[in-house]
């Protein structure tokens, strides 16, 4: 599933490429991707004729503000892609293209989703907390909201949870998933199963710095595309940060820091990767 760096990369691209454009035509195949709407016409009517006024990210959600006040909410799910295209003649439609938004100025925005766990829907800002209740309970955004390491330490002590579980808890910290929790913990030199209240002040500082720097670096390299390459940026290109991974999906390979062997363990039903020598 795309995490904060991937969604933030797309947000920044959308801000440059589609904000300010007016929707001319919307085409939808099937109801799965717009399942919150009663029918296709209802979804299409909410978009056609409206200008895209701005875009923001909340956790792993994209919110595109529409002229007139409504919000187009986009969640990429497991395999969703937002792709900029010219038209069907120059850029033929690919399989699993479920929504095509054509702009009056030319060009299209396409929603492609092979596994169809992602979705798009239009709602009002007032209804948004009820429609997507998790947005009302998101924790701090580690890219948008800076805090002191002492405040961060207070949050860690208050929760008393295993570090990986805590980093992935969207009510604690918004946007981090399986990939970046492993990378952050390696950078901080901490094990996935350390309890948050046991960290020393030095370890708290290391963890906070690792979180901010890892996510910023991943955004700089336009996110991570794994072997299935399901994550693509707005222009259809894979990310580059997977080439910088220190532990994630590197089982059996040498640690880039100490040359020990990277191991994989099961934690809360997920694969976690770590260096047993570098992380304590």
Token code pair at residue 188: 């901080």
> What is the residue-wise DSSP string for 63-104?
EEEETTS-EEEEE-TTT-EEEEES-TTTSPPPTTEEEEEEET
Token code pair at residue 175: 């946007």
Residue 60 contacts residue 125 (beta carbons within 8 Å): no
The neighbouring-strand residues paired with 108 are 85, 102
Catalytic annotation, residues: 2-3, 60, 270
HEC secondary structure over 9-31: HHHHHHHHHCCCCEEEEEEECCC
Q: For the chain, what's the residue count? A: 280
Token code pair at residue 222: 């336009």
> What is the residue-wise DSSP string for 103-156?
ETTS-EEEEE-SS---EEEEE-TTTHHHHSGGGGG--B-TTT----HHHHHHHH
The helix (H) or strand (E) run that includes residue 166 is helix 163-168
């Amino acid at each position: 599933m795309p995490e904060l760096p991937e969604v933030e990369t797309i947000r920044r691209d959308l801000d440059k490429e589609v904000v300010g454009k007016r929707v001319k035509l919307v085409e939808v195949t099937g109801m799965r991707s717009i399942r919150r709407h009663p029918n296709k016409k209802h979804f299409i009517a909410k978009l056609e004729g409206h200008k895209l006024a701005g875009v923001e990210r909340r956790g792993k959600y994209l919110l595109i503000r529409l002229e007139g006040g409504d919000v187009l909410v986009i969640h990429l799910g497991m395999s969703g892609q937002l792709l900029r295209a010219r038209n069907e003649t120059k850029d033929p439609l690919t399989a699993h293209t479920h929504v095509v938004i054509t702009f009056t100025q030319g060009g299209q925005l396409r929603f492609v989703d092979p596994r169809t766990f992602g979705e798009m829907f239009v709602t009002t800002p007032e209804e948004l907390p009820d429609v997507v209740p998790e947005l009302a309970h998101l924790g701090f955004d580690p890219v948008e909201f800076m805090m002191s390491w002492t405040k961060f330490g207070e949050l860690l002590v208050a929760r008393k949870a295993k570090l990986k579980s805590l980093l992935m808890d969207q009510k604690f910290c918004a946007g981090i998933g399986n990939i970046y929790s492993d990378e952050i913990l390696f950078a901080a030199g901490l094990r996935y199963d350390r309890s948050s209240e046991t960290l020393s002040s030095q370890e708290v500082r290391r963890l906070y710095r690792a979180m901010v720097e890892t996510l910023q670096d991943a955004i700089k390299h336009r996110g991570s595309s794994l072997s299935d390459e399901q994550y693509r940026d707005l222009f259809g290109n894979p990310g580059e940060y997977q080439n910088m991974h220190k532990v994630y999906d590197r089982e059996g390979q040498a640690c880039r820091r100490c040359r020990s062997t990277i191991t994989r363990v099961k934690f809360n039903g997920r694969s976690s990767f770590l260096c047993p020598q570098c992380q304590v």
